[in-house]
Amino acid sequence: MPRNVRLAAAQMGATHLTDPREKTLCRMLKLLEDAASQGAQVVVFPETAFTTFFPRHLFLDEEELESWFEHGDVRIAPNTKPLFDRAQQLAVDICVGFAEATDDGQHFNSCVYYHAKSGSILSKYRKIHLPGDFEPFPDPNAINQLEKRYFKPGDLGFQAFRVPGLCPSADRGDPIFGMMICNDRRWAESWRVLGLQGVEVVLCGYNTAGWAPELWGSSKDQDPVEAERTALFHHKLVMQAHSYTNATFSVSAARCGLDDGKYPLIAGSCIVGPEGNILAESRTKEDEVIIADCDLDLCRQGKQRTFDFARHRRIEHYSRITAQTGVIEPPRLDVSAESPSSDYVLVNRTCPSSKTNSKKIRILLCNPNSTRFMT
């Protein structure tokens, strides 16, 4: 029997710095109701969904800064409670991103998975890969990304979790979900940690700039239209590639449009299958619901063959991934040790520009663990 789940992304258009919270919340409620009317069982909202993306601004007043954060249990806090109440009434699970202030004064970029039937939070995730800078750029017109100033790196890890009641689970158990936020999707490690827990659906909300040359370290002469096209390509690239390499479905929900008339954010909300194909994607830069029916059993082929981690992974060769953070290049070639008369290639000692007595070699790579089913 297929293990079908109807998944939805609730894309949100421009949200301005001056927009009242009530206005944004009403938009979220409308999106939730729209998704529910189409039979969605799980709805994913964007990163920091209840407000504009405030980390692009510098706030020096502590009280003003705290006003952008959610305090206490988001299920019952006044600014967020109506969304969770409505989700329970509609019997629709939600994943929603928000700026979290903890009781002990810590701040995180977080999201939760809310299980409507039980009224409980099944899992919380705190963003680990924080992009940008601590200090704003000197140029007052630059687009800043100050997450490192306002948030601590997440401390909950990438924990997969099961969601009860979504689909028949006699032989495979309840569906396995995982969450990440925005920049996390660019890092293969985020996905592989979830993949190693058998994840079947990855949920990801994001706010991604369509034009931010200072942030990217690129030229200001770049065409803004081309820059946005490239940012959208990179978004789809990582969602599709990592869904494929971990044999999982994924749902990504954007906050998009032109905030405050000057901050462009890409759209591209999409639902991707375990073969890396896009099943549904947004057509606008406005509030929009994207829905797809997903048979989670389609993950099994990839998990059992091409990406059967137990058979094919070689962890004895991966120690560098956890042993270092920054790049450590191999030593430079020693040109003084060049030996033109030699018939042998001196590994890491030959001069790249030398054409004397050079040899071409053909290397055949053989995988003794391969099968005829591997690609």
- pLDDT score of 338: 56
- pLDDT score of 357: 55
Indicate whether 170 pLDDT > 80.
no
Q: Residue 367 — pLDDT band, cuts 50, 70, 90? A: low
127 noted as active-site residue: yes
Q: Which domains does the chain have, with CATH numbers?
A: 4-317 (3.60.110.10)
- pLDDT score of 363: 59
Average pLDDT over residues 153-171: 91
Instruction: State phi, psi for 263 to the nearest 5 degrees.
Output: -115, 95
Q: Residue 270 — pLDDT band, cuts 50, 70, 90? A: very high
| Structure-block tokens of residue 111 | 């999201």
47 noted as active-site residue: yes
> Catalytic one among 95, 100, 127, 147?
127
Which range has the worst mean pLDDT, 34-48, 125-139, 169-183, 193-207? 169-183
Mean pLDDT of the chain: 92
- pLDDT score of 172: 78
What DSSP string runs through 73-115?
-TTTSTTTHHHHHHHHHHT-EEEEEEEEE-TTS-EEEEEEEEE
Q: Which residues contact 174 (CB under 8 A, 6 or more apart)?
A: 162, 163, 164, 165, 166
Q: Quick one: which of 356, 325, 353 has its CA closest to 339?
A: 356
Indicate whether 95 pLDDT > 50.
yes
What angle do the packed helices 224-245 and 188-195 form, to 10 degrees? 20
Instruction: State phi, psi for 156 to the nearest 5 degrees.
Output: -105, -5
Give the whole-angstrom CA distance, residue 203 versus residue 270: 11
What would the pLDDT profile of 231-245 be if each residue is shown by its tens digit? Answer: 999 999 999 999 999
Give the whole-angstrom CA distance, residue 330 versus residue 348: 9
256 noted as active-site residue: no
Q: Residue 346 — pLDDT band, cuts 50, 70, 90? A: very low
The residue ranges of DSSP E strands in the chain, in sequence order, are 4-11, 42-44, 70-71, 93-101, 107-115, 120-126, 161-162, 176-181, 201-207, 249-255, 257-259, 263-265, 270-272, 278-281, 288-295
Average pLDDT over residues 356-361: 56
Q: Which residues contact 330 (CB under 8 A, 6 or more apart)?
A: 348
- pLDDT score of 350: 41
Radius of gyration over alpha carbons of the chain, in Å? Answer: 24
Q: Residue 351 — pLDDT band, cuts 50, 70, 90? A: very low
- pLDDT score of 265: 98
Indicate whether 248 pLDDT > 90.
yes
Between residues 29 and 172, the one the model is more confident about: 29
Cβ atoms of 100 and 69 within 8 Å: the answer is yes
Instruction: State phi, psi for 236 to the nearest 5 degrees.
Output: -65, -35
Q: Residue 348 — pLDDT band, cuts 50, 70, 90? A: low
Give the whole-angstrom CA distance, residue 168 versus residue 54: 41
Between residues 336 and 126, the one the model is more confident about: 126
Which range has the worst mean pLDDT, 100-104, 189-193, 215-219, 368-372? 368-372
- pLDDT score of 228: 97
Give the whole-angstrom CA distance, residue 239 versus residue 187: 11
Indicate whether 372 pLDDT > 60.
no
> Catalytic one among 182, 204, 256, 299?
182
- pLDDT score of 344: 46
Q: Residue 182 — pLDDT band, cuts 50, 70, 90? A: very high
H or E element: which one contains 50?
A: none
